Structure 1
């Protein structure tokens, strides 16, 4: 598989769309809002702004193609923050935690409604998710958060009966499971490209192949690309994992970590026999989770987070190549689905996830500039949450604050970074030590062996950030 090959989802989306080659931005421009980054967050922000005020001149700059970054190459699992309720409550208090959980569940259905309204064919299926245990050590891990969700009236999870677990999840590997209806799956690159089309129909100016080279604060702010200068009253930085390449102050607030995926050739008959011809996503109880789902054309996608960590948060060339973890991913897929042993792997790919210290995104004003805002740190859980991020950023730059904007402007995520990783080389060395301890711990658990105490202690260091990367 050549290194220049596009990630699977984007190649599929572009083959269906057949777009014209991108035209970079040229010349001098004056706009109301300049959004840097044409992924989920940037496009949702642009759409929210134009829907609220069609007269605004909104311009989006994208370095490559919309969908070429993390937004178009993730696993496409539409998940919520309900499983993170305890972390949300500890950080923000009960009221804000409940609002964020409900908003993340609402986001799943808002995205589905938007796609239906605007005829975006993104293979979106809101058919729920299964959170499962694949070893005895993972059993019961969700119980503390379930008890709190039940106490506060937020619980949407249902226990899957043992007799139904294999049919619900498609695999006999699972020992226990929970189901929530507020989730599903989507072809992420098709969704990005659909948002691009709708944004342009609303009057948003989107220029691909137009990387930001320089940002100068002021009123107006000044954004420079290789062939253009944009003066904007407001600027939104929606670069996610690329933020560290431009702004040193974010290099310790996130860590770039890979999520790696494989997908099979179409095998609809075999998937139907496994009862996998549906849109549910399944996530196991590992720290660096396995996640899988089917596609409408009968493929099976499986991914795993937490494989590569970037030293000094440099964007690794491996993030744009087929996964170097093809062999272990294929082994995991065959373990979950031995009946698919003879179905060939069609492709593998990789993407960079911007993990924050607490596993949640953060938003704020860049260098305290009132007219420049940013958002990043989705930590591998951002397909649905980027709809919320677009709402936050749109509310932060809107001139007239509507009543419905206040909850987004004032939400607890508008805090700037809530913690920092150690400086290099300690961050990278620490990440390697913890990652390898987690691998040894979970291998022992899979095999039913005792876990050494030091691996248990080291693995706990990853718990604060929650599960990675879907």
Structure 2
């Protein structure tokens, strides 16, 4: 039972955004920047963002060497370069909007561990640098084999190291906390625990049913739920992909800092307050990890532990302190989806596991598309 006042003043907005992750909040902030008087509502099904925005490893990535080489086997060079450029622009926008200090952004370096089978990738390093030379202010990659003795990785598994000169790391929790604060400072309303059951569009606008109870209305609706967008638009090429992570207790005399990748970016780890945060392994079981279920797989967690103890910290005893999972979104190609579904309904999804890097730019692009 709703009062006249509630129906008149508390359920109507100019824009409703579904999803309070990086893309949803970035879309809302970008709309406010171009139209400060618009009333914007962000709806989040969970008490916290549900997908990957608060569950990632805090990598500010543009892509590792072997990942880019893998992309070049399946995509034209121009498309690969455009993706790297989007990641770079997204990170620049995120840093300008938030400020490095407010999310502990720092560039201690990004490194890729090269195994025996990947050594031929080194022969193409300069070609990739040339491909990206118009995007970055200097060479993207350089060899850093001098770090091998210092970092202490298994010399049987790691034969070379490549440095990415334009990647960084950040504190995911502080990044999201600041995005929430910025949104609220601009008058954007965020309501959590709001499961969007359905929506319908008519001549008056878009009407959004929440928790099978409340019906909000707006002139425009933006779906920014990444992998979960198929609940509303099942025809879209959006495939969920689970990412699993573990973090150790503090490790005495940890020999490395910064962020690291190996195996075409399918594995990633970093130093975090003296701990090792290590995630990935989705390629070990693509079928099983193509799921929207936020859960842990014993097989992948065991694989992460094994690689932690044999490749990253060989011969060291470590204690696992915590584990979690998040849901990413992929498709037949790596381009994000940014489009109008109808005159009033818009979609931004399929971040390809790069939401930290591209989420801000995707949100800005969607806001431009929605500008009326």
Whether TM-score is above 0.5 comes out as yes
CA shift in 2, pair 1:82/1:378, >3 Å: same
Query: What residue number does 1:17 align with?
Result: none
CA distance in 1 between partners of 2:72 and 2:35 (Å): 32
Per the TM alignment, residue 207 of structure 1 is displaced from its structure 2 partner at its CA by 0.3
Structure 1 gap segments, 5+ residues each: 1-25, 400-470
1:138 alignment partner, one of 108, 118, 122: 118
Kindly indicate whether structure 1 or structure 2 has the higher relative contact order, using CA contacts under 8 Å at least 6 residues apart: 2
CA distance in 2 between partners of 1:259 and 1:130 (Å): 20
| 1:113 matched to 2:113 | no
More strand by share: 2
Per the TM alignment, residue 311 of structure 1 is displaced from its structure 2 partner at its CA by 7.6
CA distance in 2 between partners of 1:47 and 1:395 (Å): 12
CA shift in 2, pair 1:257/1:123, >3 Å: same
| 1:61 matched to 2:34 | no
CA distance in 1 between partners of 2:72 and 2:117 (Å): 24
| 1:390 matched to 2:370 | no
1:281 alignment partner, one of 247, 251, 259: 259
1:223 alignment partner, one of 208, 230, 247: 208
Per the TM alignment, residue 258 of structure 1 is displaced from its structure 2 partner at its CA by 1.8
CA distance in 2 between partners of 1:191 and 1:212 (Å): 25
Residues 125-182 of structure 1: per-residue CA shift (max 9 Å, x gap): 2333112312x11123365474154156346323224223443686654222222232
CA distance in 1 between partners of 2:140 and 2:108 (Å): 13
CA distance in 2 between partners of 1:358 and 1:168 (Å): 35
TM-score under structure 2 length normalisation: 0.85
CA contact (8 A) 2:51 2:328 kept: no
Partner of 1:389, secondary structure, is helix
**Aligned Cα RMSD in Å?**
3.0
CA shift in 2, pair 1:143/1:389, >3 Å: farther
| 1:241 matched to 2:227 | yes
| 1:256 matched to 2:233 | no
CA distance in 1 between partners of 2:121 and 2:24 (Å): 35
CA distance in 1 between partners of 2:349 and 2:169 (Å): 22
1:128 alignment partner, one of 101, 109, 121: 109
Residues 28-80 of structure 1: per-residue CA shift (max 9 Å, x gap): 52211110001110011111111222111111000003333211112221101
CA distance in 2 between partners of 1:163 and 1:200 (Å): 47
CA contact (8 A) 1:31 1:58 kept: yes
Query: What residue number does 1:379 align with?
Result: 352
State the aligned residue count: 356
